[in-house]
Amino acid sequence: MAAAGSGVARRVEELGDLAQAHIQQLSEAAGEDDHFLIRASAALEKLKLLCGEEKKCSNPSNLLELYTQAILDMTYFEENKLVDEDFPEDSSQKVKELITFLSEPEILVKENNMYPNHCDLLGDELLECLSWRRGALLYMYCHSLTKRREWLTRKSGLLKEYLVDGISYLLQMLNYRCPTQLDEGVSFQDLDTAKLLSEGIFSDIHLLAMMYSGEMCYWGLKHCAARKPDVDTGVTGASYTTHREPLDFREVGEKVLKKYVSVCEGPLKEQEWNTTNAKQILNFFQHRSNSRVRDKGREPSCYLAQSVYLCTRTSSHSPLTPWPHLNPPPLDCRLFS
């Protein structure tokens, strides 16, 4: 175990050096100081110091946490730029690069095979953050692509690959933690909170992941039905691209959106979460299931238009249990990009 820990320390230090060099390039290109790049650089400097102190290096979890926090900040800076520019035509390579960065911590744990369960080293919250960030990035990228009709006529197979990867990351994020079992030995002052935890919903982000994945399933059924994937030139990630399992867009979409609507109109009824778009998508799924033809009625709009997506980075929609592991809490912009 000590040898494995030493191996993790060396690899994390190498990755940290590469990330620090990348941050330097980003800072120079930006021409001004950025809060997130400064914070990422500071975390990597601390990581470098710890890797030089043998005693503290004995805990690879601390090192990996520092590296992961730096990556979350660094990639946010670039994601923010992509979103502000509505993902330029040549964005696929940049999206691939960001997903690769966000996949490195998980890959590192797998390669060193230190623990049977990745959560033992990275922790549930960090694993959820990394999966959420990859899924949300692909959600926004696919949203941009669905507005490009000419691209869709030529590359809908690629869109399908991106959607499958994005949905898979979001579902992975939703499944890291098991729902809280409610029994006589567990006491809750707030029954609504107890209901949310029993459904496996531990933060606002878990709820958004349901809506995002449901909407991506809608895009898949609308734009990619009966299309075979094209040869990918760009954005595949690390966890789901070497072996893609078949994904039934309608089945998955119905499952997550029915749960989303149930929760929003149940325990979160007073919080006024919007279910209009989710219900429209569910109607679309039902129509496709019954008639196998394209819906001629009103089409659902993007759940979070770009302006809403940007303004919600620092706002909270409900009193759900936040992720305490990172500061600021889950609706901070690093997790929302």
Tell me which residue range forms the domain holding 325. Answer: 2-336
130-139, 148-157, 187-196, 293-302, range with the lowest pLDDT: 293-302
Is the CB of residue 50 less than 8 Å from the CB of residue 70? no
At a CB cut-off of 8 Å and minimum separation 6, what does 222 contact?
Answer: 284, 294, 299
77-81, 127-131, 165-169, 289-293, range with the lowest pLDDT: 289-293
Is the CB of residue 276 less than 8 Å from the CB of residue 302? no
Task: Compute the average pLDDT of residues 84-101.
Answer: 95
Cα angle 320-337-252, degrees, rounded to a multiple of 5: 65
Q: What is the count of structural domains for the chain?
A: 1
Is the CB of residue 236 less than 8 Å from the CB of residue 169? no
Helices (H) and strands (E) in the chain, counts: 13, 0
Task: Compute the average pLDDT of residues 74-81.
Answer: 95
More confidently predicted of 233 and 14 = 14
pLDDT at 281 (0 to 100): 97
> Is the model's pLDDT at 284 over the cut of 90?
yes
pTM for this prediction = 0.83
Q: What does the alpha-carbon distance between residue 197 and residue 319 come to, in Å, rounded to a whole number?
A: 12
67-76 residue pLDDT tens: 999 999 999 9
pLDDT at 322 (0 to 100): 42
217-269 residue pLDDT tens: 999 999 997 655 444 444 555 444 444 567 999 999 999 999 999 999 999 98
More confidently predicted of 1 and 18 = 18
